[in-house]
Amino acid sequence: MELSRVNELPYEDFINIFANVVEKCPIVAAAVCSSRPFGSVDALEAAIGDFIDALPESGKEGILRCHPDLAGRDLQAGTLTQESLKEQGNVGLDVLTSDEASSMARLNEDYKKRFGFPFVICARMNDKPNIFREMHARMANQHEVERMRGIEEVKKICHLRLQDLVHADA
Amino acid sequence: MELSRVNELPYEDFINIFANVVEKCPIVAAAVCSSRPFGSVDALEAAIGDFIDALPESGKEGILRCHPDLAGRDLQAGTLTQESLKEQGNVGLDVLTSDEASSMARLNEDYKKRFGFPFVICARMNDKPNIFREMHARMANQHEVERMRGIEEVKKICHLRLQDLVHADA
């Protein structure tokens, strides 16, 4: 959709279209829609980033907790959002070997036990070996550092989802 | 569900169960779940209220914008959340006369045009005539006053939805 059209949408349509640019957090689109018109897609993305940054720390962790595990129960149960399904599928998380699957399941559990939120990474900017490496490496981070790292990944995911939905006027 | 069980749930289950105590805002449940264990249902409700109060003003308006119109297009299209459908149905908003329906549609549009978010009221604490009266009366409020009024209603809705989901241990 062209940006000029995005700027003209009734807020309900704006929220419906951008509901999942931050996974399962339509409040983000709902919060920034009154800042329209946006002069560029970057400006829309920046408004979303600013809103996330202005949340209390519990809200940032809340955003992380709205994300599914990688190759987790939502993937297995078919309850992933359309966006996450595509992203996890693109990097092969839907066809793990049984060794990879049990390793991933253990890493997910260890990570969640340590931090209280799931491991979030922009799958489309990584490949499978890199995702495993990052899961191991980030496990050593301090809680606050890792909350920030997770939110950085949320913003990368948001960036790519926005690119899929809106472009500058021709 | 008993509170002691709520306090023990994996965070994913906690979020799933309380995802809609604030309409379409699972981030709220996701933010407060790390404050468990809660000593009472009131304490859970207070944590939710505190989280909402700590949001930037744009986030509070975002919460309001995640709410459907009364007797609006979600009701007509069958896309209301289960909770909203029940609440709007209980007060007869699903069986308006044609005069009432057109009056409601006009009030919804006028309200949204004035404030940029929808009219939110706890339907279960009101009857139909009262809802119409409130729509007229609140239209005269200043923007900031009305944002606060809307959030007060969000908290009343949340209170009743929580009562439906969780109770003190026997």
Q: Which of B107, B111, B70 is nearest to B91 (CA)?
A: B70
Quickly count: other Cβ atoms within 10 Å of residue B33's Cβ: 27
Query: Taking the C-alpha atoms of B92, B159, A18 and A91 in order, what is their torsion angle to the nearest 10 degrees?
Result: -120
A17 membership: H or E segment, kind and range: helix A11-18
Residues of B in contact with A15 (CB under 8 A): 65-66
Is B56 at the interface with chain A, CB within 8 A?
Answer: yes
Judge: B28–A62 Cβ closer than 8 Å, yes or no.
yes
Judge: A11–B58 Cβ closer than 8 Å, yes or no.
no
**Phi, psi angles (nearest 5°) of residue A2:** -75, 150
Quickly count: other Cβ atoms within 10 Å of residue A39's Cβ: 10
Alpha-carbon gap: A117 to the closest alpha carbon of chain B (Å): 8
Residues of A in contact with B55 (CB under 8 A): 55-56, 59
Would you say the C-alpha torsion A86, A87, A93, A95 has a positive or negative sign?
A: positive
Q: What is the CATH number of domain A63-162?
A: 1.10.3330.10
Indicate which residues of B carry an active-site annotation.
67
* ipTM exceeding 0.85, yes/no: yes
Pick the residue of A9, A11, A12 with the most B CBs within 10 A to test the interface with B by mutation: A12
Q: Which of B55, B53, B57, B66 is nearest to B21 (CA)?
A: B66
Who's near B2: CB < 8 A, 6+ residues apart?
A: B166, B167, B168, B169, B170
Alpha-carbon gap: A95 to the closest alpha carbon of chain B (Å): 23
pLDDT given for residue A146 in this prediction: 98
Q: What is the DSSP string of B104-135?
A: HHHHHHHHHHHHSS-----GGGS-HHHHHHHH
**Phi, psi angles (nearest 5°) of residue B49:** -60, -45
Q: Which of B148, B143, B121, B147 is nearest to B132 (CA)?
A: B121
pLDDT given for residue A80 in this prediction: 94
Q: What is the CATH number of domain B68-162?
A: 1.10.3330.10
For residues B29 and B15, give the distance between their C-alpha atoms in angstroms, rounded to a whole number: 5
* Residue B63 scores a pLDDT above 90: yes
Judge: B11–A51 Cβ closer than 8 Å, yes or no.
no
* Residue B170 scores a pLDDT above 90: no
Judge: A61–B11 Cβ closer than 8 Å, yes or no.
no
**Phi, psi angles (nearest 5°) of residue A167:** -140, 160
Judge: B65–A24 Cβ closer than 8 Å, yes or no.
no
Tens digits of pLDDT across chain A (170 residues): 999 999 999 999 999 999 999 999 999 999 999 999 999 999 999 999 999 999 999 999 999 999 999 999 999 899 999 999 999 999 999 999 999 999 999 999 999 999 999 999 999 999 999 999 999 999 999 999 999 999 999 999 999 999 999 998 88
Q: Could you read off the pLDDT of B114-150 as tens digits, one per residue?
A: 999 999 999 999 999 999 999 999 999 999 999 999 9
pLDDT given for residue A155 in this prediction: 98
CB A1 within 8 A of CB A166: yes
Q: Could you read off the pLDDT of B36-59 as tens digits, one per residue?
A: 999 999 999 999 999 999 999 999
Who's near B78: CB < 8 A, 6+ residues apart?
A: none
pLDDT given for residue A170 in this prediction: 85
Q: Could you read off the pLDDT of B84-123 as tens digits, one per residue?
A: 999 999 999 999 999 999 999 999 999 999 999 999 999 9
Residue boundaries of the structural domains of chain B: 3-62, 68-162
HSE (CB half, 13 Å, CA atoms) of B13? 8
pLDDT given for residue B17 in this prediction: 97
Is A51 at the interface with chain B, CB within 8 A?
Answer: yes
